[in-house]
Structure 1
Amino acid sequence: PTDVRARIGYMPENDAYIPGMNAVTFVAYCGQLSGLGAADAMQRAHEVLYYTGLGEARYRAVETYSTGMKQRIKLAQALVHDPELLFLDEPTNGMDPKGRDEMLELVRDLAHNKGISLVLSSHLLPDVEYVCDHVVVIDKGQVATHGPIADLKGPGGRVYELRVKGDEVAFVSALQGVGMECHRTDEDIMRVFVPEGLSWRDLFLMASQRGVQVRHLRPSVPSLEDVFARAVGEQEAITHERSVD
């Protein structure tokens, strides 16, 4: 229904432009589909194309755009009718680092300064953490965790970067046995979540007991990636328990 389309904007992951149309005509057409009159749609098309950084290229055919420019026009068509709620599906997909940063600034501006509520779907957790206030983590079709990002990142405990030499498998198993959570970030660094009641001293103690050398230990700020790793680990444990039962 038109009244619903007028309140919701949608930026799809896949390209969905009309070949042969230039950018301003395409965005104005999308505005008309969402309930704007022809004159208002054209005026808004110019405005949102400038806002998204495509003002100088608004008369070019959309199919001649680069990947980053196509991402911008998808955002422009989602904004042209000034929606209350915006759905963004992988908005930085295929963009170079500079374009990605600029897109995130636009999205953050919409959420924090323009009063638009938005739902962002992305596998790039740093993007989500930069833009969003709340998160829903979905793993294999199930909600693994949800809530304000600040609350999910800030339960009691600390995160450490750790590198060891020795029987790492047995060491990690021992850490997990007392409630610590571990996940690897690269070839030799792991991140360890130490819950309340335990401290970094316990890492050294358990390493010493198992003949493992601690080569590197540094406190780290909890990130959304830590939240995801913990949530997915807990979800897998629940799934395993149900399968055993």
Structure 2
Amino acid sequence: MGVIETAGLTKSYPRVTALDHLDVTVGDGVTGLVGANGAGKSTLIKILLGLVPATSGTASVLGYDVATEGAEIRALVGYMPEHDCLPADVSASDLVVHLGQMSGLPYAAARERASDVLRHVGLAEERYRPMGGYSTGMKQRAKLAQALVHDPRLVLLDEPTNGLDPSSRDDMLALVRRIGSEFGIAVLVTSHLLGELERMSDHVVVLDSGRLLRSSATTDFLHATGSLLVEVQGRPDADRLLGQALVDAGLVARPAEGRMIEVEVRDDATPDVVRDLTVDLGLGLVRMQERHHRIEDVFRDGGAGSVQPV
């Protein structure tokens, strides 16, 4: 049995269907839930927490039915909401202790757990400051800490890198990865940034307009495609010149992202042909690398909405 299981899960509103007969299973480790805005990610999380009823279909979390056992689920699950919801005049320590007590921990245990999780998320020194003076990155860490204080079996993280600068985003991705690998807590994390999920997820679930587009191990998205990405320089039309020369030599070559060329590998000699033609044309070879599928290819091929390949 998976940590999360849904069967025919549907959520309809008067003018839109947020989830459309969704069948998905989520196991241990870190699972990325990706989709464009409006794909149904946040709706799914609310249903899994027992906060919003489904229109039809079934779902279970840790073996509990979301329709009838929401309280039991919320006692075992940590939730990090997307939006800023922290009281400005309260310290991170007081908030995390309070929420630990609300989860059933005695006061002394809640204080000890709060100290531990705030240290793990990098707020050891700032934990007594009012959160109204926190940066966006510190607020995200505080929200993550409160989701972990009661030692949950599963955490649901809704866009944990929202609003973060690149350095803070890297730190948050590392924290999420540690939760799944070192703490042994199952993680379901939503994002519309594909590169994030490639870096931290063991498994990826792709939603498109409330439907399941694909669910597979992250490594299955990133396998080699049997083609090379080539970038050359030396003149403004360098990519066009090399591309035509490769076609004249009997290879299949086409424009790729930016000024690069994608060349299908015919045999082991293909890289040598690319190199020799580049030299013959008097161009500089900037890079030649094996092309891999990325999560964004699923959206491009499947016709999903606007998702960013960061």
Q: TM bucket by the smaller chain?
A: 0.7 to 0.9
Structure 2: distance between partners of 1:200 and 1:101:
39
The one-letter code sitting in structure 2 at the alignment partner of 1:64 is: G
**CA deviation digits over 1:51-110, x for unaligned, max 9?**
111111111111111111001101101100111111112222222333222222211111
1:56 aligns to 2:125 (yes or no) = yes
**Aligned twin of 1:153:** 222
Question: Aligned to 1:136, which of 178, 202, 205?
Answer: 205
Matches within 5 A, 1:163-178: 164-165=239-240
Q: CA offset at residue 182 of structure 1?
A: 6.8
**Aligned twin of 2:294:** 227
**Aligned twin of 1:90:** 159
Relative to its length, the structure with more helix (as a share) is 1
The one-letter code sitting in structure 1 at the alignment partner of 2:103 is: S
Q: CA offset at residue 180 of structure 1?
A: 8.8
CA RMSD of aligned residues (A): 3.5
**Where in structure 1 do 4 or more consecutive aligned residues deviate above 6 Å?**
179-182, 196-200
**CA deviation digits over 1:99-126, x for unaligned, max 9?**
2222222111111111011011112222
- 8 A contact 1:3–1:35 mirrored in 2: no
Task: Give the total of aligned pairs.
Answer: 217
1:114 aligns to 2:189 (yes or no) = no
- 8 A contact 1:160–1:219 mirrored in 2: yes
TM-score (norm 2): 0.59
Structure 2: distance between partners of 1:236 and 1:60:
46
With over 3 angstroms needed to count, the CA separation of the structure-2 counterparts of 1:85 and 1:110, relative to structure 1, is same
The one-letter code sitting in structure 1 at the alignment partner of 2:92 is: A
Q: CA offset at residue 201 of structure 1?
A: 4.8
Give the structure, 1 or 2, with the largest relative contact order (CA under 8 Å, sep 6 or more).
Answer: 2
1:8 aligns to 2:77 (yes or no) = yes
- 8 A contact 2:221–2:295 mirrored in 1: no
- 8 A contact 2:194–2:296 mirrored in 1: no
Structure 2: distance between partners of 1:198 and 1:154:
18
**CA deviation digits over 1:150-175, x for unaligned, max 9?**
12222652352456226x9xx9xx9x
1:30 aligns to 2:99 (yes or no) = yes
- 8 A contact 1:165–1:215 mirrored in 2: no
1:78 aligns to 2:147 (yes or no) = yes
Q: CA offset at residue 26 of structure 1?
A: 0.7
- 8 A contact 1:181–1:230 mirrored in 2: no
Structure 1: distance between partners of 2:263 and 2:134:
45
**Aligned twin of 1:218:** 288
**Aligned twin of 2:260:** 189
Q: CA offset at residue 139 of structure 1?
A: 3.5
TM-score (norm 1): 0.73
5+ residue gaps in structure 1? Answer: 209-213, 238-245
With over 3 angstroms needed to count, the CA separation of the structure-2 counterparts of 1:21 and 1:193, relative to structure 1, is farther
With over 3 angstroms needed to count, the CA separation of the structure-2 counterparts of 1:182 and 1:119, relative to structure 1, is farther
Farther-moved stretch of structure 1 (15-24 vs 63-72): 15-24
- 8 A contact 1:5–1:35 mirrored in 2: no
Structure 2: distance between partners of 1:159 and 1:8:
44
**CA deviation digits over 1:7-62, x for unaligned, max 9?**
11111121111232111111112222323233322221111111111111111111
Q: Secondary structure at the match of 1:57?
A: coil
5+ residue gaps in structure 2? Answer: 1-69, 233-238, 278-282, 305-310
With over 3 angstroms needed to count, the CA separation of the structure-2 counterparts of 1:2 and 1:64, relative to structure 1, is same
1:105 aligns to 2:158 (yes or no) = no
